[in-house]
Amino acid sequence: MTILVTGAAGFIGSNFVLDWFSQSKENVVSLDLLTYAGNLENLSSLDNNPRHHFIKGNIGDRELVLELLKKYQVRAIVNFAAESHVDRSIHESKYFIETNIIGTYNLLESARSYWHDLGQNLREGFRFLHVSSDEVYGSLNPSDHPSNEKDPFKPNSPYSASKAASDHLVRAWFQTYKLPVLTVNSANNYGPYQFPEKLIPLCILNALNDKPLPIYGDGTQIRDWLYVGDHCSAIREILINGRIGEVYNVGGWNEKTNLEVVEALCSILDELKPKSNAKSYSDQITFVKDRPGHDRRYAIDVSKLEGELECKPKEAFESGLRKTVIWYLENLNWVDHVASSEYQHWVKKHYA
Ligand code: DAU
């Protein structure tokens, strides 16, 4: 049997595919449009693996997706494909509506058409797992309880609104058509292969290049941080044992302010790659104009995942951050390759 992973050359998608091959004997079809954040190099260790098939394509291309589902007799779809960067959604929301909403809709329709024609056993075993975000729950006050799966959606950015819309579509395809779906709402991921527009890799690279470490506003905004490997393990578990139609939050119980995160990575860099002038990288921290509509705090309650599926994150924030910094230090070639002219253009425009 085979699973279809969409957005497979992106950050979380590629970590998932690599992790899958280290844990499972099942084949994988990787689908990715290879837009700016997708990088085939992430999957290069699978180049000669006969169990892996890479296809460049769009989740919105129904004909292609249906053909892949039939050709490879896919028994599950894991949908990572998305436009994921909040700041980009503020500058240009169009791609977020197209990929995250219309793309998910088309993918659901391809899945439904394929699933509908399967024999009974295969129909029962089929799964459509949709990967989403804790941002759909909106911003929390300091005294609010961490968001749980029953909380209402209150998305604030074009990005989170598009993910919330996609989650609603997935739910509706279950309620209306009984398509066997699962939804995962995850906290901020970090780890290897993350595109350097996101806070952690951006600050690692800026630190090494003697550039400012830009902190939006006062840096007291809070995010919950989850090592990407723990997210991948949770998805595997949910795919096997999750209850159809259910939503599972995945997080690290690990709330940190942005300033705490950047200071922690500066002190790891101070130790692993001390500056020649013996100063700390934290001197490069620079407070910049805040993100419009910047959510103050995200925190998610993962008791359902822990209680039902006995699934807990293994990585502590300190050790995960250290692994991440080491990965970037050892993979500066990868960084050079992803830092394309499009990336340089984005950095110049956004931080101008
Ligand atoms: O919470 C899950 C979400 O986490 C995912 O759904 C999104 O796809 C993912 O991008 C991430 O969203 P954030 O907006 O939280 O991630 P980002 O790395 O862009 O920012 C993390 C925090 O750091 C946020 O409060 C904004 C702040 N920040 C970010 C950048 C890029 C800065 O202070 N300076 C920066 O230059």
Ligand 1 atom closest to residue 198's alpha carbon, by position in its atom list: 18
Q: Are strands 285-288 and 74-79 parallel, antiparallel or unpaired?
A: unpaired
* Element housing 133 (H / E): strand 127-133
- Rg value, the chain, Cα: 20
Query: Across residues 166-190, what is the average pLDDT?
Result: 98
Cβ of residue 221 lying under 6 Å from some atom of ligand 1: yes
Enumerate the β-bridge partners of residue 78.
5, 129
Q: How far, in Å, CA of 44 to CA of 24, rounded?
A: 18
Q: Which residue's CA is minimally distant from atom 3 of ligand 1?
A: 188
- Is residue 63 part of the annotated active site? The answer reads no
Cβ of residue 95 lying under 6 Å from some atom of ligand 1: no
Cβ of residue 198 lying under 6 Å from some atom of ligand 1: yes
Q: How far, in Å, CA of 39 to CA of 65, rounded?
A: 20
Q: Residue 341: is its pLDDT beyond 90?
A: no
- Is residue 159 part of the annotated active site? The answer reads yes
Give the model's confidence band at 342: pLDDT under 50 very low, under 70 low, under 90 confident, else very high.
confident
Q: How far, in Å, CA of 227 to CA of 151, rounded?
A: 24
Ligand 1 atom closest to residue 157's alpha carbon, by position in its atom list: 14
Write down the mean pLDDT value for the chain: 97
Domains and CATH numbers, the chain: 2-190+226-253+293-315 (3.40.50.720)
pLDDT tens column, 115-147: 999 999 999 999 999 999 999 999 999 999 999
CB-side neighbour CA atoms (13 Å) of 32:
26
Query: Across residues 277-306, what is the average pLDDT?
Result: 98
Q: Residue 104: is its pLDDT beyond 90?
A: yes
Cβ of residue 216 lying under 6 Å from some atom of ligand 1: yes
The Å distance, Cα 340 to ligand 1 centre, comes to: 21
| 3-state SS, residue 78 | strand
- Return phi, psi of residue 147, to 5°: -65, 135
Q: Are strands 222-227 and 127-133 parallel, antiparallel or unpaired?
A: unpaired
Q: Give the per-residue pLDDT at 185.
A: 98
Q: Give the per-residue pLDDT at 277.
A: 95
In the chain, what's the furthest Cα-to-Cα distance?
Answer: 68
Please, are residues 93 and 155 in contact by the beta-carbon 8 Å criterion? no
Q: Which residue's CA is minimally distant from atom 19 of ligand 1?
A: 198
Q: Which of 105, 114, 137, 159 is catalytic?
A: 159
Q: Which of 32, 83, 109, 134 is catalytic?
A: 134
Task: Say what angle helices 199-208 and 317-330 make with each other, to 10 degrees.
Answer: 50
Cβ of residue 199 lying under 6 Å from some atom of ligand 1: yes
Cβ of residue 79 lying under 6 Å from some atom of ligand 1: no
Q: Residue 187: is its pLDDT beyond 90?
A: yes
Please, are residues 281 and 142 in contact by the beta-carbon 8 Å criterion? no
The Å distance, Cα 58 to ligand 1 centre, comes to: 25
| 3-state SS, residue 116 | helix
Q: Residue 352: is its pLDDT beyond 90?
A: no
Cβ of residue 84 lying under 6 Å from some atom of ligand 1: yes
DSSP codes joined into one string, 148-187: -TTSPP---SHHHHHHHHHHHHHHHHHHHH---EEEEEE-
Q: Which of 135, 167, 197, 295 is catalytic?
A: 135
Please, are residues 16 and 90 in contact by the beta-carbon 8 Å criterion? no
Q: How far, in Å, CA of 104 to CA of 89, rounded?
A: 17
Give the model's confidence band at 280: pLDDT under 50 very low, under 70 low, under 90 confident, else very high.
very high
Q: Give the per-residue pLDDT at 208.
A: 97
Give the model's confidence band at 15: pLDDT under 50 very low, under 70 low, under 90 confident, else very high.
very high
Q: How far, in Å, CA of 262 to CA of 214, rounded?
A: 10
Q: Which residue intervals of 35-132 are DSSP H helices?
A: 62-71, 86-91, 94-96, 104-116, 120-125
Nearest Cα residue to 115 out of 176, 55, 180, 183: 180
Q: How far, in Å, CA of 335 to CA of 196, rounded?
A: 8
Q: Give the per-residue pLDDT at 349.
A: 92
Query: Across residues 276-286, what is the average pLDDT?
Result: 97
* Element housing 222 (H / E): strand 222-227
Query: Across residues 295-314, what is the average pLDDT?
Result: 98
Q: Are strands 255-257 and 222-227 parallel, antiparallel or unpaired?
A: antiparallel
Give percent of the chain above pLDDT 70: 100
Cβ of residue 233 lying under 6 Å from some atom of ligand 1: no
Token pair belonging to 2: 């085979």
Q: Give the per-residue pLDDT at 286.
A: 98
Please, are residues 52 and 28 in contact by the beta-carbon 8 Å criterion? yes
- Return phi, psi of residue 124, to 5°: -70, -35
Ligand 1 atom closest to residue 197's alpha carbon, by position in its atom list: 31
Q: Give the per-residue pLDDT at 343.
A: 87
Q: Residue 344: is its pLDDT beyond 90?
A: no
Query: Across residues 264-282, what is the average pLDDT?
Result: 97
- Is residue 308 part of the annotated active site? The answer reads no
